[in-house]
């Protein structure tokens, strides 16, 4: 195996592990190496979806509109937990098939003051509403330094 192939394999494995850590799940062994099924992982359009964690890290030089925004929360105090929220999901004409651009969402002091225990957000409309209210700060990029652009489709 060439040195570049080894580096690519390691990078792909790190991307899958990073996604698992963000989703707060442990990956179970799978029959197909490199792809892991994760149940109830991502909110989209008010529905909780599963996903297939793949080692597909994508270059960020494609137009941002060819990716869906995936909001990963860093400081929810809701005991139910906050899963990542997608800009769109299957059945929504804006869904890009699980090609993600990572965004970090952080509740602000104003958000905690307004809610006490912050709500679980389940849609892009929820995210945009709370950004507009000054309750959330959103920045582009992965909260733990994981991939900025990657692929992992939403499934039932």
The per-residue pLDDT of the chain, averaged, comes to 82
Long-range pairs, 35-39, Cβ under 8 A, ≥24: 37/155
Nearest to 76 by CA among 88, 85, 86, 89: 85
Whether the per-residue pLDDT at 110 is higher than 70: the answer is yes
pLDDT of residue 60: 76
Residue with tokens 């139910």: 80
3-state secondary structure the chain: CCHHHHHHHHHHHHHHHHHHHHHCCCCCCCCCCCCEEEEEEEEECCEEEEEEECCCECCCCCCHHHCEEEEEECCCCCCCCCCCEECCCCCCCCCCCCEEEEEEEEECHHHHHHHCCCCCCCCHHHHHHHHHCCCEEEEECCCCCCCCEEECCEEC
Lowest mean pLDDT among 14-18, 38-42, 137-141: 14-18
Residue 25 pLDDT level (bands cut at 50, 70, 90) = very low
In the structure, what pLDDT confidence band is assigned to residue 33 with cuts at 50, 70 and 90? low
Answer whether 149's CB lies under 8 Å from 100's CB. yes
d(CA 48, CA 7): 34
| C-beta separation of 81 from 106 below 8 A | no
Confidence of residue 65 (pLDDT cuts 50, 70, 90): confident
pTM passes above 0.85: no
Give the contacts of 2 (CB within 8 A, at least 6 positions apart): none
Confidence grade of residue 61 (pLDDT, cut at 50, 70, 90) = confident
Comparing 19-33, 55-69, 131-145, the range with the smallest average pLDDT is: 19-33
């Amino acid at each position: 195996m060439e040195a570049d192939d080894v580096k690519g394999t390691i990078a792909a494995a790190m991307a899958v592990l990073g996604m698992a850590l963000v989703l707060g799940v442990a990956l179970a062994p799978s029959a197909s190496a490199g792809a892991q099924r994760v149940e109830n992982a991502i909110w989209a359009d008010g529905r909780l979806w599963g996903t297939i964690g793949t080692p597909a890290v994508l270059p960020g030089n494609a137009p941002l509109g060819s990716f869906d925004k995936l909001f990963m929360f860093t400081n929810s105090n809701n005991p139910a937990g906050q899963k990542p929220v997608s800009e769109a999901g299957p059945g929504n004409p804006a869904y890009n098939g699980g090609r993600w651009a990572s965004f970090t969402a952080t509740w602000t002091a104003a958000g905690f003051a307004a809610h006490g225990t912050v709500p679980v957000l389940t849609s892009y409309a929820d995210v945009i509403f709370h950004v507009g209210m000054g309750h959330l700060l959103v920045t582009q990029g992965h909260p733990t330094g994981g991939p900025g652009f990657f692929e992992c489709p939403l499934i039932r």
